[in-house]
Amino acid sequence: MNRTPIRTTNLKGSAHRNRLTPDATFRERRAVRWHFAAIVSIAVPACLPAADAAAQWYVGVGVGGNASRDVIVESRSNDRASVCDEYINPRALSVTGCTTPDRGAGDGWLAPFDPGAGFSGEAELGFRLSPRWRLAAAYARSATDFDQTVSSTDATGADFDKISNELSVGEETLGSATSNGFQIVAYRDWPNRSRWTPYAGAGMAVSRTRKDFSWLWARSAAPVDIATGLGEPNASEIRTNLAGTVSVGRRKLRDTMVGYVLIAGIDRHLSETVSAGLKAQWKSFEAFESDGYSGDLLRSHPPNLRLDGSEPVSAWSRSSDTGRFSALLTVRYAMR
């Protein structure tokens, strides 16, 4: 039968095996970053000139588009080899290695996606400290569409055996990535005798991001195509039970990330209180790291390894590709 080609690379390097840091380390790193972000948010205003007679509040809005970089989603799970699944192999508990505590150790796979694009918008409240300096806080929202389905690749550990020896289809889909964020930015204006004022800014940002993620791993319907179980006394039973099974699910993956924003733009003064302009900004955040999630089906049965419902199987996904460029048309109103 025709089989969808699956690219696999059994990478043995320690860097590949450790693509996903253990959860405890994730929490420690996240705590350090949040503490750093809090210090920055306090320190930025202190570094700016003191307010003078020119100080005034202003509000602004911006709408436009965004574009991301390539996104590689790295995933791992605490699944075992299929021969250790009691639904597939009734003798699983007697197989060497099927009851060890280190489920999923060394396992992992990748899903590489092309850049996405979408909508960005923000609402800003700012305070002018002097003719050259201002400080602003903004709510920002973006929706980046990927709508891509790619083959699972670069598998390691037990996942290498599954993709190499079992699957006729192994693919993952990234729909859209939506984020709601808050940022604090210090701006430097360059006022001049014309109506045009260029500016630049830098600051910190926090983003609550959601990714629409789904996957489908399907085995060949023909037992003869299944290599899993060869060498076991009930190999025929294992291959028959595994043939034609699917692992499938769709989940919203979420994470809150801290990062920075760099801005450059130009405003044209339409009146004493109103200006319009163009803003370009680059945002980059720490790695996106999802909480554990389970699928709808694992090898066509509930997502656990034991008939009594024990040993539930979860997956974790992360991506270091969190940078995003956006261009916005802006309008600002100075409150007098």
Domain spans, the chain: 14-335
pLDDT tens for each residue of 39-98: 444 444 444 444 444 469 999 999 999 999 999 999 999 999 999 999 999 999 999 999
- Work out the burial of residue 25: count CB atoms within 10 Å of its CB; fewer than 13 is exposed, 13-18 middle, 19 or more buried: exposed
The predicted structure's pLDDT at residue 296: 97
**The pTM is what?**
0.79
How far is 183 from 173, CA to CA, in rounded Å? 30
CA distances from 18 to 25, 112, 288, 310 (A): 12, 18, 16, 27
Q: Are 174 and 212 in contact (CB under 8 A)?
A: yes
CATH dotted code for 14-335: 2.40.160.20
pLDDT tens for each residue of 185-206: 999 999 999 999 999 999 999 9
